[in-house]
A and B are shown apart, each in its own frame.
Chain A
Amino acid sequence: MKTNALIASPEDSVVTLTAEAARGGKVCFSLDGKLAEVIAGEDVPVYHKLAVKTVKKGQPVIKYGEVIGIARADIQPGEWVHTHNLSSDGR
């Protein structure tokens, strides 16, 4: 199956979509040479982030293997991750 998302680093909690995802659709990405997938919980625009791991409210969200901010709500795999549930650590 063709991938429609990229993971920047194996430990990341999010992937970046390379095609828009529809609610209920499969999001596939290559992880450590194997194909991994998660079901999109909602419609997500292209190049936006989709969670592949559970992140509890107050915990760091990881991309590029680094902290990109703090979850402001509990985030489940398949959820769109953006300004509504993620903000900078310094705000």
Chain B
Amino acid sequence: MEFMGYKRADGKVGVRNHVIVVPGVICASVAAKKIADETGAVFVGNPNGCGQSPEDTATTLEIITGLIANPNVYGALIVGLGCEALQEERYRSALAKLTDMSIDYVKIQDRGLAETVKRGVALTEALLKKSSDVKREPCSVSELILGLECGGSDPTSGLCSNVVLGKVTDMIIDMGGSAALTETPEAVGAEHILKRRGATPEIGQKIYDSVKAFEQMFLDRGMNVREGNPSPGNIAGGITTLEEKSLGCIHKAGSRPFTGFYRYGEQITGKGLCFIDTTAFDVASVTAKAAAGSQITVFTTGRGNPVGNPVCPVIKMTANRDTAERLADIIDFDSSGAIAGEVTQEQLAGELLAYIIRVCEGELTKAEINGSAEILINQQMSYC
């Protein structure tokens, strides 16, 4: 199956052709926002860039450079402050390993805010002009990495939306494509099933161990991950325990074997279904998938959630009819017909795949229309 996408020099395929403006550190956000607003480029937030432990600084660098190198991005301007931990050279050397894209860089302490914005606008306008020369051309679905997400879940997610999405995951894998399951804590109670689904015993064991390690990290500090999750909204909707939520969550990953396991911040390098070890907090998890190279995410929800991502389209899907109707301005795909027995889950899977392809070819999601473009990066320690 083919779709009209953007072929990049390194062979990767994008579904958008964004020029992005990224603060190298949160302190430079004001300049980066002004540049994006003035030029129409896409602002990609960076909550960090300084004040973190060396390990967390490295994670921020991996995530921000991963977002820049995402195949949906044509070009980028990084706006620095000047004194921050993540200096221009660190960004440039990390990006050189990921992409051939030319990156522009300006910093506020060189010339003040107004002059930085002026210089940044000129650089971004030049990038935008060049980006308009790139046209969509036929690309194989096998180049897609589908991000799998659920948030604000209710029991309709596990019984329907995630099952329908899992069927689409299988279809994309069978066409030679890829998909990424994330949200390690939302595998608690389902880790034994994921372990069996490893393409090799080692991959299955790595997934299993990551779930156990996440739970242990909380226990070591006298806390229980099962107490904050499910959330109050999940519980009001009818989900009682984390195991119940997890067993519903993993349906998104369909039925094919896991051929890859990646740590948080790592790039996806193989084909097929993979697991990325991330937090369950939706925004951090969607960010991690986009930074790992996924071009599009399908986000199932029962309660409804408007979040998006600046680099990747995020499709919202619900099987809760009340949510589909009441929150129509944030829901893209209504799968409640299968709950009501009006259509089969197989029929909906075919419709969802067709819709995903339309979005890949440029149809805007509600999150894109609404301007939802949140970024969050996981960290282990306090800011220093």
Contact = CB atoms under 8 A, between A and B. Distances in A.
B341 interface: yes
Contact of A47 (B224, B237, B244, B340): B237
B255 to A, nearest CB: 14
B303 to A, nearest CB: 11
A83 B243 contact: no
B144 interface: no
B243 A88 contact: yes
B193 interface: yes
Contacts of A38: none
A60 B243 CA distance: 12
A90 B155 contact: no
Given A6-B339, A8-B159, A18-B339, A63 B247 contact: yes
Interface string B231-268: 00001011011111001100000000000000000000
Interface string A27-49: 00000000000000000011111
Nearest to B224: A91
Contact of B226 (A6, A18, A66, A91): A91
A87 B241 contact: yes
A66 B241 contact: no
Contacts of B320: 47
Interface string A71-91: 000000000011100111111
B227 interface: yes
Contacts of A48: 155, 238
Contact of A67 (B158, B226, B243, B302): B243
Interface of B: prevailing SS? helix
Interface centre among B215, B248, B302 (most CB of A within 10 A): B248
B156 interface: yes
Nearest to B190: A66
Given A47-B320, A48-B155, A91-B226, A69 B238 contact: no
Given A3-B341, A8-B159, A45 B238 contact: yes
B159 A16 contact: yes
Contacts of A3: 341
A69 B156 CA distance: 19
A86 B339 contact: no
A22 interface: no
A47 B364 CA distance: 31
22 contacts: A3-B341, A16-B238, A45-B238, A47-B237, A48-B155, A63-B244, A64-B158, A66-B247, A67-B243, A68-B243, A68-B247, A69-B243, A81-B240, A82-B235, A82-B238, A82-B240, A83-B235, A88-B226, A90-B188, A90-B215, A90-B224, A90-B226
Interface of B: 154-156, 158-159, 188-190, 193, 215, 224, 226-227, 235, 237-238, 240-244, 247-248, 302, 320, 339-341
Closest 8 CB pairs of A and B: A68-B244, A48-B238, A69-B241, A47-B238, A88-B241, A88-B226, A47-B155, A64-B247
